Structure 1
C-alpha cells in the first residue's frame, strides 16, 4: 500500500487531484485509516486511474467519465478514442507535445492492462556524495529544463565544474498549490562548493547514503517518463517494499534528440515488516 503522496508521484498526478476524485466518488483510496484519516492506495488501482486521466484528456466531463467507467468501456474502444485525440495533439507546439507523450505512456499501460512491464528494476546501494543545488517550483519538463540550464550556466560562470550528471530531487512541498518542489542538483568535488557558499538560493549539501535504492532506466523522451515511474512503482509494490525517501531523477544523457535521452529514476525503499 502507498501513501497518497507516494501514489501521486508514481501515477504522476497531484495529491489534490486524488483528494478531489475521492471526494466526488470517482476514485476512492483502497483504505482510509479510521484514526488519522490518511488515504492508502494499492498499485493495481493505477489501471482505473489511467483510464480516468485518459478520458479526461479526451475532454470528457467527470460525470461522463463516471458513466464510461460504469459501462466498462473496452480497452480497444478507449484506444481508438485516444488515437483520435493523439492525431489532434500533433498539430500543437511544445506544451501540447508534452501532454501528448503523457497520454501515449498511459495508453501503453492500458493496452497491457497493467501487466508484463518490460522495464528492468535494479536494487542497489548508493553512497553519499556532495552536491550543489537550487530549488524551484516550476512545473513541467520544459520549465524545469530551462531552470536547470540557467543553473548550469551560473556554475560555469563561477568556474564550478560538475562531477557527475545533473539530478532532479523531488521533495514534498508545503506551499500550496504545488505538491512537490524540485531541487536541481549537481555533483561536485568537496572543495568546489566554497566558491558559492554565500550565494543566495544555492544549497551545498551531501546527499545521504541510501542502502537500498530501487532504480529504473528510461531510454527515450522525458515527456513519456510516466511509464518508467509506474513500472518502478509496480515493482516496489509487488516485491513488498515501501518508499523510504524522496525520488531522484538522474539525467545520464540529456543531449541530442529527445528520443535518445537516458534517464534513471530512483526511489529509496525499505522492506515491509
Structure 2
C-alpha cells in the first residue's frame, strides 16, 4: 500500500488527477482513512491507471473509459489500438512538419525577392518509400526525365497500397561510389548499396517519407543525416539550374568541389502539372 503522492509519481500523473479519477469512479483508492481521508493505493492498481491513460491517449472521453475499464481491456487489443493511434499521430506530425517547411519556404521567398541566399542546416535521417534508376549523364534533361518517371511509378504504387504520401524528395548522387550512399532495404528485406551495376553518371532516388510497414513494390531508402546548403527555387523545373548554379558558386567560394557532392530536391509545393508556382528546395549535401 502506498500514499497518493507515491502512486502519482509511479503513474506519471499529478495527485490532482488521481483525485479527479476517484471522484468519477474511474480509479478508486484501495483504502481511504476514515479519520484523515488520506487515500492509499495498491501497486496492482497501476495496471488500471496505465489502461486508463492509454484509452485517454487514444481519444476516448472519460465517460467512455469507465465502462471499458469495467468490462476489462484485453492487453493485446489495447496494444493494437495504441499502434494504430501511434501511426495516425506520426502521419499528422509528418503533415504538420511538411506544412511548417512550406510556411518557412514562403517566408524565405519573401526575404529573397531581390537575391537568392544560401542557407546551411542539419537534416535528420529520413527513410523513403522509393524507387531508383540510373541517368546516363547529369544534365537536367536526362535526370529530369528519370525522376519524373520514378515519381509516376511511386505514386501509382502508393495509391494502390493506400499509403500516405508526405515529404516528396529526390536525391542525385554521382558514380563511381566516391560518396556515402543511402541504405536500401528491398522488398525482400535485404540491405544493399543503392548503386546498381555499371558505371552511369548519376543514380536517382525518388520517393516519399515512409511510415510504418514498407509499401509493396517500393524499396525503403534511408537517407543519412547530413549538413546541407540549400536555396529555394520557385517556378518550372526547366529553370531550376539557377538554384544549382548558385549552390555551386557558394561551394566554390567556401573551398568545396561541388562535382563530388550529392544533391537533393525537396518538393515543398508541387501541385498538378502547372509548374509556375512550384516551390522546390535544392539541397547540396556537405
Q: Tell me the TM-score normalized by structure 1.
A: 0.48
Q: Which has the larger radius of gyration?
A: 2
Q: Tell me the TM-score normalized by structure 2.
A: 0.46
